Structure 1
Amino acid sequence: MASTIIPTLRYRDAKTMIAWLCDTFGFERHAIHESENGGIVHAELVYGDGMVMLGDARDDAFGSLQAPPAGDRPVSQSPYVVVKDVEQLYAAARAAGATIVMDLRDQSYGSREFSCRDPEGHLWNFGTYNPWKVGE
């Protein structure tokens, strides 16, 4: 079996963010597991062949390692998502209130991309550069 890398994120309000990520970026719900009180214990969202896993921020062993961004704390990860129509996604992100931190631009390596923060501050990168297709 081949190895796969799947980014994991914790959100203060994962249920709201699942809807936002799906509506804004085009992720699709693969699996959603709710707690008895309606919170999100674990969710899997897919985008093409990629996936992110997420859940509510909570006080547990993993949560103490991966708290949502706050104040001056540096971001420890920022997913890069390969997209076909980066202009459409850029417009959707702006319309949905994402904070654009790197405006849409062409890169010297042939990609067109932008970076933004979602409503809870996680950094997302979107572009046309696909490292699996270099040289094809």
Structure 2
Amino acid sequence: MTVRPALIPVLRYADAPHAIDFLCAAFGFVRHAVYSDADTSRVDHAELVWAGQMILVSSAIDTPFAQAARMRTAAEAGCVTQSLYLVVDDVDGHAATAAAAGAEVFLPPEDQPYGGRSYSARDPEGNAWTFGSYDPYAG
């Protein structure tokens, strides 16, 4: 996929360094940039790339924006209010890699009535991710 999107999801984590390691090992993201201060347990801004797509990751820092937006991590909120869907070629292989890296696969790979195959997993802080072969852009 070579589309350069203008919509980039932003995720906050209590333990962003661990989340970055997990997202790379389990879901196949690659570090594009990670900015931290001297305290390497805090991530001010990270850019992770997957198949030409990007997400931004940061530590759950109490900033004026976070306060005004009433941002919470999934764990702080006690629920998930959004999820991310990523198109993959090999759903079963991706699910196996994710599970081996510690992802909680809560819906195993399954054919979907609208076409394609997908599975859903949680990252260590409770965010929901779905990976599927259905590409809504393919028509």
Name the TM-score, length of structure 1 as normaliser. Answer: 0.89
Deviations 1:93-130 (A, max 9, x none): 11122112222100011110011111111111100111
2:66 aligned residue: 63
Distance 2:76 2:62 in 1: 19
Q: Following TM superposition, where does structure 1 have runs of at least 4 consecutive aligned residues deviating by more than 4 angstroms?
A: none
Deviations 1:53-110 (A, max 9, x none): 0110111233342211137733122110111111111001111221122221000111
Identity percentage of aligned residues: 42
1:104 aligned onto 2:109: yes
Unmatched runs of 5 consecutive residues or more in structure 2: none
Aligned residues: 133
Which of 122, 127, 135 aligns to 2:132? It is 127
Give the C-alpha shift of residue 131 in structure 1: 1.1
For residues 1-136 of structure 1, the aligned pairs below 5 Å read 4-38=6-40, 39-64=42-67, 65-70=70-75, 73-134=78-139
Distance 1:51 1:82 in 2: 13
Give the C-alpha shift of residue 15 in structure 1: 0.8
Q: Tell me if the contact between 2:33 and 2:48 (Cα under 8 Å) persists in the aligned partners.
A: yes
Name the TM-score, length of structure 2 as normaliser. Answer: 0.87
Q: Tell me if the contact between 1:10 and 1:63 (Cα under 8 Å) persists in the aligned partners.
A: no
Distance 2:111 2:129 in 1: 17
In structure 2, what residue type is equivalent to 1:55? S
Cα RMSD of the aligned pairs, angstroms, is: 1.7
User: Per the alignment, do residues 27 and 111 of structure 1 end up closer, same or farther by CA in structure 2, a change over 3 Å counting?
Assistant: same
Q: Tell me if the contact between 1:32 and 1:43 (Cα under 8 Å) persists in the aligned partners.
A: yes
In structure 1, what residue type is equivalent to 2:48? L
Give the C-alpha shift of residue 3 in structure 1: 5.9
